[in-house]
A and B are shown apart, each in its own frame.
Chain A
Amino acid sequence: MAEANNPLAQFVIQPLIPIKLGELDASFTNSSLFMVLTVVAATTLMVLAVRPRAAVPGRWQLLAELSYEFIAKMVSDNIGKEGKPYFSFIFTIFMFVLFGNFLGMLPYSFTFTSHIAVTLTMALVIFLLVTVIAFVKHGMHFFSFFLPAGVPIFLAPLMIAIEVISYFTRPFSLSIRLFANMMAGHTLLKVVGGFVFPLGLLGIVPVAGLVAITGLEFLIAFLQAYIFTILTCIYINDAINLH
């Protein structure tokens, strides 16, 4: 009973199919299940919904096209023409996070984006990718990124320190923003939900609050996917154009 009412119980990873890779635990868990569902849902939307190839799209086809154009515009606005090779990667990030967040809104589901292991892995991969792109494009010239042009020379030590720190904190801010938002929202829903039955008839008050918070959570689910994706775009742009 105490375990069921714990607001953090919803984040527990439960192995569904135990798999061992040598010493490594690679079990198929509730988290893995929702990752697979995310792949299925996103693929269904992007492939099946577009199957009619109608000149005048239906609702689902329109949704798929809007997602495509949304990310395509984001990439061209933030990176420009050179962003084209990264479009599929950025689009996949957006779909993965968005569907992860939205599927997590279903009752009794699991939100894999509320885990730091997942968001930090994604953020580190993006960080490494961006750094590799920058080195391939600019070689040693990449280090000029840490000293913006036009800074007085006596400020250089300070500026370089600030820029280096802000560069290396990127993966952490990127991952913690997403994980903390998702976790906080779901915890809040659970905590407020816990007030409903003990309050009896007055329970209507937290229920009203829950309805409002649920609406807010849907907004945040989209917004965080958007922020995660647009920051990825901005980082890649920095790597290609060095400020």
Chain B
Amino acid sequence: MPQLDLAGFPSQIIWLVITFVILWLLMAKIALPRVGLVLEERQKKIDENLDLAENLRDEAQGALDAYEKSIADAKDNARGSVTEAVRQMSDSAQARHAEKSEELAAEIKEAEARIDAAKQEAISGLQEAAATVASSAAEKLIGASLPSDAVRQAVNTAMKERST
């Protein structure tokens, strides 16, 4: 087995030490610090970007909150003004209703008065005509003219008797 040939040991060990120390120096002094720096820079960049993203997200959340708050405020306002408007309108409707009913009541009263007057007038016209017809009929029948006051009196009495 060539591995157990002691004659080969010194050169193997010498070259092992030489090459290992060279590799160690190259790794420790050059390679590892560089790789470490690259990794560190990348980590830093990632962290920075994450921070930035988080800030932006917070900002967006803030904007959303403000937007929602303004929407809620606007809704409240709208509800308030709608209630106010409804209240005002019902008030004014009530007021106008009252006003109109008063007006109508007055008109009804007036009309009733007018109707009454017209009735009285018609009745008195009727009495007049009945008296005239009665006196002229009596004149034709008996050939004498009766005093108009007596005729009117008699007609009045007769009409009162009929109407009751």
Contacts and interface: CB of A to CB of B under 8 A. Distances in A.
Interface of A: 8, 11-13, 15, 19, 21, 24-29, 31-32, 35-36, 38-39, 42-43, 46-47, 50, 53, 55, 57, 61, 64-65, 68-69, 87-89, 91-92, 95-96, 112, 114-118, 121-122, 179, 183
A46 B37 CA distance: 13
Interface in B10-35: 10-20, 22-24, 26-28, 30-32, 34-35
Nearest to B8: A13
Sorting the interface of chain B by its residue count into under 10, 10 to 19, 20 to 34 or 35 or more gives: 35 or more
B25 to A, nearest CB: 9
Interface string B23-61: 110111011101111110110010000000000000000
Contact of B10 (A26, A28, A95, A112): A26
Contact of B3 (A26, A36, A115): A115
Interface of B: 1-5, 7-20, 22-24, 26-28, 30-32, 34-39, 41-42, 45
Given A65-B39, A91-B32, 4 more contacts: A31-B11, A43-B23, A65-B38, A96-B20
A28 B3 contact: no
B19 A183 contact: no
Contacts of B4: 116
A55 B32 CA distance: 17
B57 to A, nearest CB: 23
Contacts of B5: 13
